[in-house]
Structure 1
């Protein structure tokens, strides 16, 4: 897999793709080969990303690091092929780049890459999108658990979630048999118990929340604002009120309430 093919397959935004090609054409990837290979080692990927940024230096719109992430992701195709993992899962996973840039554009009106701190997971074969959800092989203490992530474009209906979880179980049993019986966890504002007072008990979010045993209420967070309101603003008075959750959450925030990023353990499939 090369960068051009990958960009075309994931339908990377044309303006971004042009800049990626320009940088890739003039850059010697051998100078960052060690850092890109270290993406494959979970415990080293974050330090490797920091080293990569230092080597790249000034990086307008983070095009340089995006290009390097795409190079590592293109190289990862060989790992997928060696394991026998399908092209569908590979390209569904790598479409994260296009999705992230679209999300940022909706909030800011600018096309740029801001999720460089996250995508070493995809580039390093630690995270896979399987139908609607993403699954990360997270190293926690002395064991590996499967972390569940909810992409912004996911069908979050109970049926779609059931299907994804079932396929994930099959995926890890086949391709990572040591994780066949791994624990599945989620760390998200979607697991905050306060949401039960803001939503109908039959809502998709509450249905998802009920799948988990909450073992830690977590820390106070504000990242939910980006996903729920499509903005980075923390001026709660101007938040939109287009859905019941937006309205109820706004009341909660304006009255001094906070939202927690809770930790949950999947109870069943």
Structure 2
């Protein structure tokens, strides 16, 4: 196959920049990066090694083209592609806000989307993975294929929407990846912290989501602070943060009084 020219490569990057609707305020950064960067057209997402935030965003936009081709080859609805790639938009927006210019880093997460390991199916993300813990009581030795569940940021997390996503995932992976024989759905998240039951009403969406899983382990984590108050929040600077929700007020009070929150690990058949 003929190797694409730089002009062809950059036209593809421009196309996906528009498709993903990167905020217009970063248009100047984007044009400058594009003019000053040479893109290797043959490189794949698997081969790409994270570089500066400028190069990262250009390469990831370029990789979207091949990803679309792979979806079409498998016959996967392109709506799923565009839903899945919303995470690239959100990740880019988050990195850019922190940096103050167009930026993309920590590509381990984005690469899951670009290498067809992770898919947005309805309300939830599902990622083909391998068990990292040793859980013999659940017949889950390390290395067992599992379906990891991730929760994209959105307005609501209703039990009904989640059940639809699980049903869609079972059909989707059986249809398009029948060779991936997983035992369980798993989720590792601050949303599964059992301490949240003390802070939220029993009919809250978070508690209903927790109840879908059997919780098997927990580790101390500051992820609750990051998601409730924003990236960079720590126990040390929490007193400076404003509370915009009742949950934030309760979390702040608990942490300033010496309590710790967790990320918990749950499984679902």
TM-score range with shorter-chain normalisation?
0.7 to 0.9
Offset of residue 111 of structure 1: 4.6
CA distance in 2, matches of 1:265, 1:6: 36
In the alignment, what sits opposite 2:40? 29
Q: Which runs of 5+ in 1 are unaligned?
A: 40-47
Instruction: Say if 2:150 is the partner of 1:149.
Output: yes
Offset of residue 70 of structure 1: 2.0
CA distance in 1, matches of 2:55, 2:33: 7
**TM-score for both structures, normalised by structure 2:** 0.82
Offset of residue 105 of structure 1: 5.4
CA distance in 2, matches of 1:256, 1:163: 39
Instruction: Say if 2:15 is the partner of 1:14.
Output: no
CA distance in 1, matches of 2:184, 2:238: 37
Instruction: Say if 2:140 is the partner of 1:129.
Output: no
CA distance in 2, matches of 1:132, 1:242: 24
Q: Which runs of 5+ in 2 are unaligned?
A: 1-10, 132-141
CA distance in 1, matches of 2:100, 2:40: 31
* 257-266 or 170-179, which deviates more: 170-179
In the alignment, what sits opposite 1:261? 263
CA distance in 2, matches of 1:247, 1:108: 28
SS at match of 1:135: strand
Question: Quick one: higher RCO (CA 8 Å, sep 6+), 1 or 2?
Answer: 1
Offset of residue 88 of structure 1: 0.6
Does structure 2 conserve the Cα–Cα contact (< 8 Å) formed by 1:12 and 1:97? no
In the alignment, what sits opposite 1:158? 159
Post-superposition CA distance 1:32-69 (Å, at most 9, x none): 71xx25x2xxxxxxxx55xx23xx4xx3xx02012112
Q: CA distance change for structure 1 residues 7 and 28 in 2, over 3 Å: closer, same or farther?
A: closer
**TM-score for both structures, normalised by structure 1:** 0.82
Instruction: Say if 2:196 is the partner of 1:186.
Output: no
Does structure 2 conserve the Cα–Cα contact (< 8 Å) formed by 1:106 and 1:230? no
In the alignment, what sits opposite 1:245? 247
Offset of residue 85 of structure 1: 0.7
Offset of residue 198 of structure 1: 0.8
Between Structure 1 and Structure 2, the one with more helix by share is 1
SS at match of 2:179: helix
CA distance in 1, matches of 2:245, 2:105: 27
Q: RMSD between aligned alpha carbons?
A: 2.4
Higher Cα Rg, which structure:
2
Does structure 1 conserve the Cα–Cα contact (< 8 Å) formed by 2:96 and 2:104? no
CA distance in 1, matches of 2:145, 2:26: 35
Does structure 1 conserve the Cα–Cα contact (< 8 Å) formed by 2:128 and 2:146? yes
Length, aligned pairs only? 246
Large movers: runs of 4+ above 4 Å: 104-111
Post-superposition CA distance 1:192-243 (Å, at most 9, x none): 11111011011010000000011112x2111222211124232121232222
